Structures are given as C-alpha cells and as structure tokens.
C-alpha cells in the first residue's frame, strides 16, 4: 500500500467513527502530480451524497507549479468519490440521521479513507 500522504487529525477528535470506507478519487492529471508531491490539505474536507453519487468538498489540492493555466485545476473544486452502489446507499442512510456526517480520515496514494461519523459535541449535547 502507498505511504500516507495527508491525514485529518481533527476527525478522530471531533467525531465518533461509526463505519469506515475506502474510496477512490476522480482526479485530473495535475491533481495527481500535486498529491504525490504532498501539496494537499484535508483538514476541512467532508463528503456529501448527491443523488447516487458522493462528492468531496473542501479538499485543497494546490495547483501544479509548472503547468500552464489551460491544464491546471481549481484548488477547491468538488471531486467525485468512487464507491460501490451499496456503500453509497449505506452512507446515504447513515448521514441522513441528524448529527451524522461523512468525514475524511486519510489519503494514501489515490485512495481516500473516509468514515461515517457522529459528532461528539453538538449544540444539543452542550450544557449551557
């Protein structure tokens, strides 16, 4: 397996992990080069189910420095996650529950490790 490129340490601190998934990422050529160089930030990344597809939002992949404007990508564009249909339906059902979301854990190579998670601290649970 590839070495770990980026991790989201806040995910383990802020969420109770319910289920873990391993998904592929649909990337452009310059995004692959930037990820291999380690120019990625997943600390604010989350996944959202839209229809029968899952998209990754908030993941910051820096543009490749030697590529021209025509070939380069936008740094915070939504990226599609590649999962099996039954995994998408299961994740959709889990995230429909209030307080649950799909958070991103690690990126290793072109694989993304995500999880369905429930927030540890919500406004309902907080005591005033």
Closest CA to 73 of 60, 58, 54, 57: 60
What is the predicted pLDDT for the residue at 85? 94
Domains of the chain, start order: 4-119 (2.40.280.10)
What is the predicted pLDDT for the residue at 55? 93
Please state the rounded mean pLDDT for residues 43-67: 85
Please state the rounded mean pLDDT for residues 44-65: 87
Q: What percentage of the chain reaches a pLDDT higher than 70?
A: 85
For residue 96, the SS3 value is: coil
15 C-beta neighbours (distance < 10 Å), count: 21
Q: How do residues 86-106 score in pLDDT, each as one tens digit?
A: 999 998 888 888 778 888 888
Closest CA to 95 of 37, 6, 19: 19
């Amino acid at each position: 397996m590839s070495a770990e490129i980026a991790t989201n340490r806040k995910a383990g601190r802020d969420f109770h992990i319910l289920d873990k998934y391993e998904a592929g990422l649909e990337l452009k050529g310059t995004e692959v080069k930037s990820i291999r160089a380690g120019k990625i930030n997943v600390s604010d990344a989350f996944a959202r189910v839209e229809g029968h597809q899952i998209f990754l939002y908030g993941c910051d992949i820096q543009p490749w420095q030697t590529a021209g404007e025509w070939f380069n990508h936008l740094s915070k564009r939504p990226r599609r996650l590649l999962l099996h249909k039954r995994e998408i339906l299961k994740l959709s059902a889990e995230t429909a529950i209030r307080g649950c979301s799909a958070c991103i854990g690690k990126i290793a190579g072109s694989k993304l490790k995500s999880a369905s998670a429930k927030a540890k601290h919500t406004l309902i649970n907080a005591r005033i």
